[in-house]
Amino acid sequence: MTERKNDPNPVAQIIVTRTLQTSGAALLALAGLRAALPPERFRPLAGIGGLLVAGGLSAYFAATFSPRTPLGGVPLVCRLPVEAGAVVALTFDDGPHPETTPRLLDVLAAHDAHATFFVVGENAARFPGLVRRIVAGGHAVGIHGLRHETMVLQSATRAAADLRAARHIIANAAGFADPAAAVRLFRPPYGFKTATLCRTAARLGLVTVAWSRDPRDYDLVSANEVRARLAARLRAGDIVLLHERPDALHTLNALPDVLKDAATRGLKSVALETNGF
Ligand SMILES: [Zn+2]
């Protein structure tokens, strides 16, 4: 098992990177002010303005990650409907990978459990046989971007083109004749989403799926820690955010115990419905 505890948290890393990138516009505005104001008035303004802009942008990008951020009426699925009963939906992002997907499928099959795989278009193109195996196992497959890059700063046109391309690749790999009818679920890469992105997905007939339970397995903690973070907290209706990574097998190693713990509490893992919520 590979465990690297010193890796930076990718979510925090992206928030910082995006903040720095978009601060460029603020710097240009400050440069304009500098030309217009005498230096003694400009200096304090530059310091406070810079902090406010950086803080505001950081808060904005952090909000795009939270499943609780309102999206102006655009539907976002975070939980299973109450009528689904005593079930949870485990979801695995970032695959498929030859080192992890077959092993996850074996563990799920051994526990008579089903899950949803949010796959990256590029990975699906490289490993179409794995997408077929996911579907053949009775699991759901959704889109996790064409590439594993955040889509929140893309134009709606670019995002739509990426989503269409990813859907086409995934449907082809799975052997579905009609991509639009068969691939209906979307989880934005890194979980970063905006109302524009979710609305763009909805126009293509895609349901954007977040989560209600995040054990933060992207932190590269031990398998025991992943299990502990879920064990006491799992509730009926939860959609659980998990990842498959060939370089870090903690989630894969935790899965048998996570499924046992869920069964002990009368909860079964099911694939997300692909025909809408
Ligand atoms: Zn991801």
37: CA distance to ligand 1 center in Å? 45
**Ordered per-residue pLDDT tens for the chain, 277 residues:** 344 444 556 777 778 877 887 777 777 777 777 777 777 777 777 778 778 888 888 888 888 888 777 777 888 999 999 889 999 999 999 999 999 999 999 999 999 999 999 999 999 999 999 999 999 999 999 999 999 998 988 899 999 999 999 999 999 999 988 887 889 999 999 999 999 999 999 999 999 999 999 999 998 899 999 999 998 889 999 999 999 989 889 999 999 999 999 999 999 999 997 544 4
Catalytic residues: 93, 243
Domain segments of the chain as ranges: 10-65, 82-276
pLDDT of amino acid 88: 96
150: CA distance to ligand 1 center in Å? 9
235: CA distance to ligand 1 center in Å? 23
What residues pair up with 142 in beta bridges, in sequence order?
118
- The rounded radius of gyration (Å) of the Cα atoms in the chain is 21
Question: 70, 120, 130: which is closest to 98 by C-alpha?
Answer: 130
Rounded to two decimals, the pTM is 0.85
Element at 50 (helix H, strand E) = helix 39-65
Domain 82-276 has CATH 3.20.20.370: yes
pLDDT of amino acid 7: 52
Give CA–CA dist 18/194, Å, rounded: 14
Give CA–CA dist 255/236, Å, rounded: 18
38: CA distance to ligand 1 center in Å? 48
